[in-house]
Chains A and B, each alone.
Chain A
Amino acid sequence: MELRPILSALMRSKVSMILIGVQVALTLAIVCNALFIIGQRLDHMRRPSGVNESDTFLFSSSGFGHGFDPRATIREDLAVLAHMPGVASVSTTNSVPMSGGGWGEGLSLKPQQKTSTTQTTIYMVNEKGLGTFGSKLIAGRDFKPEEVADLEAGDTLRPPVIIVTQAVADKMFPGENAIGKQVYLSENPPASTIIGIVERTQQPWMSSDTVENSTFVPGYMPYGNSSRYLVRTEPGRRDEVIAQVEKKLSESNSSRIIGKIRTMEDVRRDAYAGDRAMSIILGAVIVALLTITALGIVGMASFWVAQRTRQIGTRRALGASKKDILRYFQTENFIITTFGLLVGAVLAYAFSLWMMQSYQSPRLPWYYVPIGFVCLWALGQLAVLGPALRASRVPPAVATRSV
């Protein structure tokens, strides 16, 4: 294939070439960065919470009136819930992973330590807590019923025993066995002894830097007259149990309000609603952009074919085959696209740099751009195929006609 005639023809319609090139360049820059953002969001959404999400649900109960006894109510509720058919395990808790609201504390190795060694969230649960969450105990033991203390909201946190996640254990005691070690949740003694380690349980906050730093504390701590329950059902019986719970608890006590029942799947959906929306919106932008660019190439190529009908006829009359004409337009498109892509590569990195500086996003990995090259080359070839085929069907006789 002779490139020189194509290049010299291109030089005669520089503006059209630049227009298509600019379009391809911007498309590459936007698509690479948008795909990268989508990829990050999907990775973010795929992180495991470490708890059973399919068979669990939670709800709050808030009593009112001076005669209301929150502790007695908790005891009754736990008994009622535990005996319901289909319920596998139930615990009180102050919060659950991904819920967005929770209790954060610093963890220290010494009393009065100036800066905490690391941050953790606190899950205040009873002896059934770990089993209800579905967090996997990988070392040590679970809480015993007698270790579950009666606490008041606002009390200083000095539990004798705690269970932490592997992430906390690694951070506090790197390379050591954390079981039996002591840590401080408040500035003064007594310290808390780590009696168990769970594999993984996320914090309530999805954007936390220490998302797997969680600590289980055994205790009942109603917030005023309010408490929250987490229920794990036997596999597949969640919805059936939810319907029963709604009925049963509303009958049980008239001086309280049962909050909306939410499944852990609802909690996850809400936690990642923003990431999902961002992915969908960027996905839509990518599709629209590729469509517009492809249609633009079709439009320009059709115009060129129409403009050069006579020249094509002449070439055909002078012996060029249909294939030669087809190749001509395909090669021309390839050259323009490549030129656009080279500019686009620079733009893509510039865009990424702007995102890094303004939003602390990570650098665009290098392989996005070459993949983008391949995709846009393919798109260009696909878009030019129709007009190029039309060009190859121009009969040689056109050359002899006037206009």
Chain B
Amino acid sequence: MFSYYLQLGMRSLRRNPILTALMVIGIGLGIAASMTTLTVMHLMGSDPIPWKSDKLHYVQLDNWSADNSYYDDGRPPDQVTYRDAVALMEAGKADKQSAMFKLSLPIQPENKELKPFRSLGRVAYTDFFGMFEPPFKYGGPWSHDQDAGHERVVVLGKDMNEKLFGGQDSVGRTVRMDDIDYTIVGVLDDWKLRSRYYDLTNGAFEDPDEFFMPFTAAIDLKQRSTGNNSCWKSSGDGWDAYLDSDCVWIQMWVQLDSPARLAEYKSFLDSYVNEQKKLGRFPRPLNNRLLDVNEWMADQEVVSRDVQVQTGLAFAFLVVCLVNTVGLLLAKFTRKSGEIGLRRALGASRREVFSQFLIESGVVGLSGGVLGLALTGLGLLAVRALYSEYKTVAHLDWTMIFVTVALAVVSSVLAGVYPTWRACRVQPAAQLKI
């Protein structure tokens, strides 16, 4: 019966091509607008590391001035000072921990055909790799001993290894950066990161890091961060004064494997800050935070307000398209009262008539969904063109393709329920009389 009703539905749709086209285009446009924005929002905000996002915590300590808070609403600074980062690293109270910052360095390739170029990378501890789990193609992270020994080693990103060594296994070779040779210990494979969630201080959708090197080695070379630096009082002149200052420029992540560990670490942070207060630092009330990955992404508004507003408007638009479809289906089905009356008089039950017309709405929805999918593809193309930084988040994946078609069919069947119900109430006798 289903396939017969499907046939009937198709035939009925072909009979009124303009009305059908109006409905299909309406649903298609509505679906495309909402799915385009929803895809961007979903991929921007989705959990980047679902198997452990609740175990990774971003450390925030409030070392700001007694008179002004860092953010107007009282939230603590989004980075920590060098001295606090090092103190927390040395205490080693978390299951894994890494202080880190962004660094730009000139690369001097061995291959003289390549001109020197600047490269953006990251300075971190070896636990960075254990916490954020980038895939390695060759070699692996450096060791804790190499962290402690301030060794000049480096892990290259896939693209950098491609550029410098043609994608060969370069482990054991060296790369020259700012006149210093670093020994390559590992090369990353393709690290598919939608957002660079581990450092949101310069925007979440920057290019991926091209190299990683030990924090301790970079500090030896007096390398300042290429990222943000904020001070609430002058740091004083010179490098040592800067390291000792209350300027914040370092991001600090810890991995805490259980809620109990989280509670322990919280109380450790509180006692650390209270100790520092005795030294005359941390003039503000205790205001430490340990947000997990998703909380931190929400706090830093990784899903921008614009994208949220666009998504809201797109769904309102979908509602308009559906109301439009309800109206058109109603018009169409009412016109067929005669046909319905005839079928009812010949013995079709209300239920059968109901399923017939609901299937017809479903066919409209399916066609609208297919059209919507094509238009969503175009829409995402447009989003990539309009927002160059969203290239990692404006893509259809299988989940979203499925959601698109399902949303189209479900919403058009829902839109068809009332017109169908009206159609079923047709009295056979009234229609057969002339």
Contacts and interface: CB of A to CB of B under 8 A. Distances in A.
Contact of A153 (B67, B224, B234): B224
Given A259-B118, A299-B19, A274 B327 contact: no
Contacts of A255: 116
B29 A282 contact: no
Main secondary structure of the interface of A (DSSP, over half): helix
B327 A296 contact: yes
B133 interface: no
Contacts of A302: 331
A274 B320 contact: no
A20 interface: yes
A154 B386 contact: no
Interface stretch (A59-67, A140-148, A311-319): A59-67
A37 interface: yes
A277 B36 CA distance: 14
B226 to A, nearest CB: 9
Contact of B234 (A64, A187, A306): A187
Interface string A286-302: 00110011011001101
Contact of B330 (A15, A115, A154, A281): A15
A353 interface: no
Given A19-B326, A281-B386, A282-B313, A155 B237 contact: yes
A277 B306 CA distance: 10
Contacts of A66: 179
A257 B117 contact: yes
A187 B335 contact: no
Nearest to B37: A281
Interface string B311-343: 001101101110110111011101100000000
A292 B324 contact: yes
A307 B335 CA distance: 8
Contacts of A397: none
A22 B316 CA distance: 11
Nearest to A114: B67
A273 B68 CA distance: 33
- Contact count band on B: 35 or more
A244 to B, nearest CB: 19
Main secondary structure of the interface of B (DSSP, over half): helix
B430 interface: no
A37 B309 contact: yes
Most buried by A among B30, B178, B335: B178
A273 B389 CA distance: 10
Given A30-B313, A276-B386, A307-B334, A115 B242 contact: no
Interface string A132-174: 0000000000000000000011111100000000000000000
B238 interface: yes
A278 B67 contact: no
Contacts of B324: 19, 23, 292-293, 295-296, 299
Contacts of B362: none
A295 B234 contact: no
B335 A306 contact: yes
Nearest to A275: B306
Contacts of A15: 330, 418, 422
Contacts of A186: 234
A152 B237 contact: yes
B26 interface: yes
B46 interface: no
Contacts of B67: 114-115
A86 B324 CA distance: 61
A223 B22 CA distance: 61
Contacts of B328: 296, 299-300
A23 B327 CA distance: 10
A367 interface: no
B130 interface: no
Nearest to A116: B68
Contact of B434 (A223, A358, A403): A403
B233 interface: yes
Nearest to B326: A19
B176 to A, nearest CB: 9
A220 B29 CA distance: 56
Contacts of A27: 320
A29 B330 CA distance: 25
Interface string B228-241: 00000111111100
A296 to B, nearest CB: 4
A209 to B, nearest CB: 10
A151 to B, nearest CB: 10
B106 to A, nearest CB: 4
B162 to A, nearest CB: 20
A29 B308 CA distance: 17
Contacts of B238: 154
A26 interface: yes
Contacts of B19: 299
A64 B327 CA distance: 70
A311 B226 CA distance: 78
A359 interface: yes
Given A115-B68, A257-B117, A274 B387 contact: yes
Interface in A206-242: 223-224
Given A355-B309, A403-B434, A65 B26 contact: no
A249 B306 CA distance: 41
B108 interface: yes
Given A30-B317, A300-B328, A23 B323 contact: yes
Interface of B: 19, 22, 25-26, 29-30, 33, 67-68, 106, 108, 115-118, 178-179, 224, 233-239, 242, 304-306, 308-310, 313-314, 316-317, 319-321, 323-324, 326-328, 330-332, 334-335, 383, 386-388, 418, 422, 434
15 contacts: A22-B323, A34-B313, A64-B108, A65-B179, A114-B67, A154-B239, A188-B234, A273-B387, A274-B387, A278-B309, A281-B386, A285-B310, A285-B314, A292-B29, A402-B434
User: Which 7 A-B pairs have CB atoms at the shortest separation, nearest pair first?
Assistant: A303-B331, A277-B386, A64-B106, A296-B324, A19-B327, A114-B67, A65-B179
Given A23-B327, A65-B179, A282-B313, 13 more contacts: A19-B323, A19-B326, A63-B106, A155-B237, A273-B386, A274-B304, A277-B383, A278-B310, A281-B386, A288-B33, A296-B327, A307-B335, A355-B309
